[in-house]
Amino acid sequence: MKRYIVLYLSTLIILVPLDFLFLGVLARAFFTAEVGDMLGEVRAAPAILFYLLYVVGTVVFVSGRADATWRSTLVQGGLFGLFCYATFELTALSLLRHWSMAVAAVDMSWGVVVTAISATAGLLAANWLAPQA
């Protein structure tokens, strides 16, 4: 149980700052230019719930597996990120008038990168702090 807690917390601690850096600094101008009037103030409760649940999914389906290695976690984390982010992006693209293919492509690519990195770094941290018995 301790290992899963360490795995969860380390993944969360890596994912959230990376996502804030990307959304708040690196890609902010791009998203504002593409869908500006659709963006509003961040609502804390749904955002927090997203991060808490997303990391549960990452641990359950990617890095918490008994046979997880850093290589498998990197690949499966990227795939998990692609599938999860694509679910939102392609739904938004199909329903929202001002959503663009460029936004969907950038955000899905980011989902691959951020999930692969945070899942793998979380696994490495857990291996160091709470090795498997």
The angle at the Cα of 32, spanning 27 to 38, to the nearest 5 degrees, equals 125
Q: 130: exposed, middle or buried (C-beta count within 10 Å: 0-12, 13-18, 19+)?
A: middle
Q: What is the 3-state secondary structure (H, E, C) of the chain?
A: CHHHHHHHHHHHHHHHHHHHHHHHHHCHHHHHHHHHHHCCCCCHHHHHHHHHHHHHHHHHHHHCCCCCCHHHHHHHHHHHHHHHHHHHHHHHHHHCCCCCHHHHHHHHHHHHHHHHHHHHHHHHHHHHHCCCC
Residue 108 and residue 86 in contact, taking contact as beta carbons nearer than 8 Å: yes
- Listed by start position, the domains of the chain span 2-129
Asked if 103 contacts 31 with a C-beta cutoff of 8 angstroms, the reply is yes
Task: From residue 69, give the alpha-carbon distance in Å to each of 39, 64, 80, 93.
Answer: 38, 10, 15, 35
| Whole-number pLDDT of residue 12 | 98
Residue 47, pLDDT score: 94
Question: What is residue 39's predicted lDDT score, i.e. its pLDDT?
Answer: 73
Whose structure tokens read 């999860």? Answer: 84
What span, in angstroms and rounded, lies between the C-alpha atoms of 92 and 101?
A: 10
What pLDDT tens digit does each residue of the chain (133 aa) get? 899 999 999 999 999 999 999 998 999 999 889 887 777 788 999 999 999 999 999 999 999 999 999 999 999 999 999 999 999 999 999 999 889 999 999 999 999 999 999 999 999 999 999 888 7
